[in-house]
Structure 1
């Protein structure tokens, strides 16, 4: 029975979870902005110890691969890679948006009736989003989306779409009169669903190359300073 550690650091939430086979042994989470770098290694050590295990017991590490915060993704990725290198175990990656969608799909009666649209806030009226069916199959790919009243108009005309995530509130104000636009509040990224989805990948041996893996930033990163952006 594999022991898998899952990390979710793609947003302001710093979340970790430990699984043995399909059983969740424990989880820990902080919703404190900019807490990742100073807390994640302590959280991992404490969780593993509290679950009666050691780091040497781990069989794999799973990471939420983005899109999301550049800094958060870098911290999670470097932590996961460090564990995989030192323990000589495989790395697994799960899309942040797929992890969000899995939470909502699991809580939705008759999920096959709906499409699911996870949205991460990308500032102003832009979000990172995709459209998924109840089997996590892409209907529309992950991409930056500028929100307008007509966004996803064709899909909303055809069937109900459930919107959620940190960017969904902005869209709610634009489409509040459309009956097929449904919203679920307070859906936050969680290592629990990252781990659940990663276990299926572990069974298929769908591992990442630890040396070359990079998170899915989706957009180029700019560092602003001295009046200009540096790519």
Structure 2
């Protein structure tokens, strides 16, 4: 489907951002690379109830119509299967209905971008690892160097004392961040590791790069665009009914 695009280099663009990969339902409005307004609530997986209301209220409060949007940014995961499905389906519906391009962000990318804005002291050779809880001792994570360049692809890691050992050499510091980082403190037990656990994937992490992605036309194909689940979903086995045959 061909998008009706404003010139990527024109003076001003409005972007809607949506992130639902965790318990945080996060919606924001950007003018170019500046966050204008946001609505978010971290209160369990109630995105199906909140997302549409948040978007409606955000646009109305700022006197913006959906047709005024140049693009929509969306967090694609990894993360909660249900949360991702709700967020991506909502965005695809808006994109199809109003011919609006979609720009994706991984949930780990959003964590990293928020960390960059903190001006946290980094040493050369240090490692940054955004982490999301993947249940039990497992996290979704990606390893970056101190220049914020990815050293590995996104992966699911079962944490242990040996995790990321090839990066834990000399005085190189490891910084684990995000809602999965608390597990690293308990399971890796390194004296040269900082843990920043109070960051959640949020549309705030889109602010620094959404305009550049738009100008580079980094748009998704709406016909084939899906959440990045990373792992297959396995539903729990239904309990046998007492009325069913043996």
Is structure 2 residue 124 aligned with structure 1 residue 123? no
| Cα displacement (A) at 1:2 | 1.2
Counterpart in 2 of 1:55? 66
| Cα displacement (A) at 1:150 | 1.2
| Secondary structure, counterpart of 1:46 in structure 2 | helix
Q: 1:53 to 1:112 in 2, by over 3 A?
A: farther
| Secondary structure, counterpart of 2:117 in structure 1 | helix
Which one of 139, 152, 171 corresponds to residue 184 of structure 2? 171
Number of residue pairs aligned between Structure 1 and Structure 2: 227
Higher strand content, 1 or 2: 1
Counterpart in 1 of 2:25? 14
Counterpart in 2 of 1:200? 212
Question: What are the superposed Cα offsets for residues 101-144 of structure 1, whole Å, 9 maximum, x if unpaired?
Answer: 11112213444633210111111101101101344421122100
Structure 2 runs not aligned, ≥5 long: 1-11, 241-246
| Conserved 8 A contact 1:11-1:72 | yes
Cα distance between partner residues in 1 of 2:152 and 2:64: 41
Question: What are the superposed Cα offsets for residues 39-93 of structure 1, whole Å, 9 maximum, x if unpaired?
Answer: 1011001011111211121111111011000000000001110111111110110
Root-mean-square deviation (CA, aligned residues, Å) is: 1.6
**What TM-score comes out, normalization by structure 1 length?**
0.93
Cα distance between partner residues in 2 of 1:155 and 1:5: 37
Larger Rg: 2
Counterpart in 2 of 1:162? 175
| Secondary structure, counterpart of 2:154 in structure 1 | strand
Cα distance between partner residues in 1 of 2:203 and 2:68: 19
Which one of 164, 173, 177 corresponds to residue 152 of structure 1? 164
